[in-house]
């Protein structure tokens, strides 16, 4: 019979591709972990892993079973949550994933509020790009995500929290016409600075500006909004800055901000969780708290 312990150990090896790291993650000895996986392979009658000098690789059967094992373990965590959350609001472990263009601008205000309101909550924060967070949500490593919507997946449910408008940011010394508001054509002769590939904000900016050419787009070293702002302040180009980031990123006063003419470009910030999770009402309560912390920006 397949045990949850065997699935847990196999899942750890499948993720880390390393027996030693997997054993450390599972808090067991490497021989004990290896034995359980060998018993799993024997019971299933298939080889799950290829062990070589370069490390551990999944066989074709191993890849499919690893995906199913991750889903089983996520369902088990949901079962535990059902029992743990009865009568409690935001208590116990909670894995929150946040995209990098949101985390620095919400978490400093949010975390003290969460700590004071929910002292029994064991919150774990993971900051990463959207696709990585969605993958970790679906396989149960994370419970809820704070990110830009929409998220289109049949197993994921979302709630909209607030709209985050984009402003045009340029160096304070940049000479401008007498325009009151910016329009996409203003960027045609300028260097547009964007985040690196993989950031959802990059695609949102490109879509608004109708830009698909790469010759006027500079992403060198642009792994964060703070980096972009420093590049803009030093005259290397312009960027689209979300209003959420303005209070923090414009403090030095070496950039100029312009609002766009209607319709203003914006992104929608919301929460996402597994549709099977029993903690929907808790996530919605967390969402309400997040919306309150961002009220000045969302109006």
Beta bridge partners of 266: 165
Give pLDDT tens digits for 85-117. 555 567 788 999 999 999 999 999 999 999 998
Contacts of 225 (CB under 8 A, 6+ apart): 100, 101, 104, 195, 241, 242, 245, 249
Domain ranges of the chain: 4-82, 89-162+268-294, 163-266
According to CATH, the topology of domain 163-266 is D-Maltodextrin-Binding Protein; domain 2 (3.40.190)
User: Dihedral of CA 196/200/206/208: which sign?
Assistant: negative
Give pLDDT tens digits for 8-49. 999 999 988 889 889 998 989 999 999 999 999 999 999 999
Looking at domain 4-82, its CATH class is: mainly alpha
Average pLDDT score, the chain = 86
Contact between 146 and 244 (Cβ < 8 Å): no
Secondary structure letter of residue 256 according to DSSP: E
SS3 232: helix
- Two domains, one topology: 89-162+268-294 and 163-266: yes
Question: Is CATH 3.40.190.10 correct for 89-162+268-294?
Answer: yes
Secondary structure letter of residue 277 according to DSSP: -
Give pLDDT tens digits for 148-187. 999 999 999 999 999 999 999 999 887 766 667 888 777 7
Q: Smallest Cα–Cα separation from 266: which of 181, 148, 165, 160?
A: 165
């Amino acid at each position: 019979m397949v045990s949850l312990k065997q699935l847990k150990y196999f899942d750890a090896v499948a993720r880390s591709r390393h027996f030693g790291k997997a054993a450390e993650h599972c808090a067991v000895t490497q021989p004990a972990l290896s034995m359980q996986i060998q018993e799993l392979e024997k019971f299933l009658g298939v080889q799950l892993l290829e062990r070589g000098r370069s490390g551990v690789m999944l066989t074709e059967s191993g890849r499919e079973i690893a995906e199913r094992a991750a889903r089983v373990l996520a369902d088990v965590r949901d079962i535990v949550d059902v029992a743990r959350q009865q009568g409690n609001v935001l208590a116990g472990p909670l894995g929150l994933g946040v995209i990098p263009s949101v985390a620095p601008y919400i978490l400093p205000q949010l975390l003290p509020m969460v700590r004071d309101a929910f002292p029994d909550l064991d919150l774990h924060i993971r900051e990463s790009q959207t696709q990585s967070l969605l993958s970790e949500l679906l396989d149960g490593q994370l419970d809820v995500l704070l990110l830009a919507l929409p998220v289109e997946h049949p197993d994921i449910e979302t709630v909209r929290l607030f709209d985050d408008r984009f402003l045009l940011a340029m160096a304070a010394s940049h000479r401008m016409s007498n325009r009151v508001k910016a329009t996409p054509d203003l960027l045609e002769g300028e260097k547009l600075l964007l985040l690196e590939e993989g950031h959802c904000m990059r695609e949102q900016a490109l879509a608004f500006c109708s830009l698909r050419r790469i010759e006027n787009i500079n992403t060198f070293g642009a792994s964060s909004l703070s980096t972009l702002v420093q590049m803009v302040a030093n005259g290397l180009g312009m960027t689209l800055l979300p209003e959420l980031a303005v209070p923090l990123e414009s403090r030095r006063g070496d950039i100029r901000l312009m609002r766009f003419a209607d319709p203003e470009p914006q992104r929608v910030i919301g929460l996402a969780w597994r549709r099977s999770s029993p903690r929907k009402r808790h996530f919605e309560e967390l969402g309400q708290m997040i919306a309150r912390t961002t009220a000045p920006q969302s109006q």
